[in-house]
Amino acid sequence: MHFQWYPGHMTKARRMMQENIKLIDLIIELVDARIPLASRNPDIDELGRGKARLILLNKADLAEERMNDVWVDYFREKGYSAVKVNSKKGGGIKSIQTVIQEACKEKTERDRKRGILNRPVRAMVAGIPNVGKSTFINALAGKACARTGNKPGVTKGKQWIRLNKNVELLDTPGILWPKFEDQAVGLKLAFIGSIKDEILQTEELAAELIRFLQKSYPQALTDKYGIQMSEDVYQCLSEIAVKRHCLVRGSELDTEKSASILLEDFRSGRLGRITLESPDGNDGHKENESRKGRDK
């Protein structure tokens, strides 16, 4: 698998990020809780040098709860502020304003020493496409929030959302492009649906997902489809096709269809709460505990 993904858009997005970053104190970086590393672009560390940093494990509702906590600890140990959120349902959003203040306390303290009091923290949301940036901004800002007008030094059209007297949020998120030179990273992004299926073989992708489940969530297919996990991943796809009545020409099993069903069930959380990465790089991260914390 080798991709080159919209290089033109990438350059433009990076330029916009660079411009916007000059205006802000804090980067709120959204990552996908199911793949907290693969859904980051490492360039953000360089782009955001000198800024306060907050990492949000978004879509935490789709990832395994125990692993969400492992990842929060991981990022905190690396010096970032980090919390898990569910932007769609609003879980974890209420505490964000406090977390933002906390993440910026060094800057606030610096300001205070220089006699600058009560200057609001300016924040920008950033992340790869589809990670939930707009959903998060809407959840955080709500409808009641005032959008402030243009400010001197801010490119015309840029809007700041005043969250309260202490925090202003740039209403345009920064788009980062995922880096998927590494095949394993590309695969994980494809599993969560961040790379369009048209450029991938659906069955091949589903087969890879089954291989991952064999190691880390061996019960998942049995629980969802009532089939036995088999060594032969294509056999699993055939059995799902039987269970889901995926047929072509009347009687032939349509494994292309069952592959799509499997991927869609995974992406929407219907397969259970599943985390694809662990900080130690061992993706078969939990042979024995994989049932714990799983919500159906």
Which chain residues interact with ligand G4P by CB under 6 A? Answer: 58-59, 61-62, 86-88, 127, 129-135
Residue 214 CB, shortest distance to ligand G4P, in Å, is 25
Task: Judge contact between 253 and 268, C-beta under 8 A.
Answer: no
Structure tokens at 208: 């890879």
Q: Which residue is nearest to ligand G4P (CB)?
A: 132
Q: Which is nearer to ligand G4P, 122 or 273 (CB)?
A: 273
Q: How far apart are CA 236 and CA 57, in angstroms?
A: 31
> Residue 174 is which amino acid?
G
Residue whose entry in the numeric block shows the structure tokens 């919209």: 6
Q: How far apart are CA 78 and CA 45, in angstroms?
A: 12
Q: Which is nearer to ligand G4P, 51 or 84 (CB)?
A: 84
Q: Which is nearer to ligand G4P, 90 or 226 (CB)?
A: 90
Q: Which is nearer to ligand G4P, 135 or 238 (CB)?
A: 135
Query: Residue 97: which residues within 8 A CB-CB, separation 6 or more?
Result: 163, 164, 166, 167
Residue 217 CB, shortest distance to ligand G4P, in Å, is 18
Q: Is 107 helix (H, G, I), strand (E, B) or coil?
A: helix
Residue 224 CB, shortest distance to ligand G4P, in Å, is 17
**How many beta carbons lie within 10 A of that of residue 175, not counting itself?**
19
Q: Which is nearer to ligand G4P, 13 or 237 (CB)?
A: 13
Residue 88 CB, shortest distance to ligand G4P, in Å, is 4
Q: State which H helix or E strand residue 71 sits in.
A: helix 65-77
Residue 273 CB, shortest distance to ligand G4P, in Å, is 10
Q: Which is nearer to ligand G4P, 134 or 148 (CB)?
A: 134
Residue whose entry in the numeric block shows the structure tokens 């589809």: 130
Residue 178 CB, shortest distance to ligand G4P, in Å, is 12
Structure tokens at 64: 């395994």
The vertex-131 CA angle with 213 and 135, nearest 5°, equals: 130
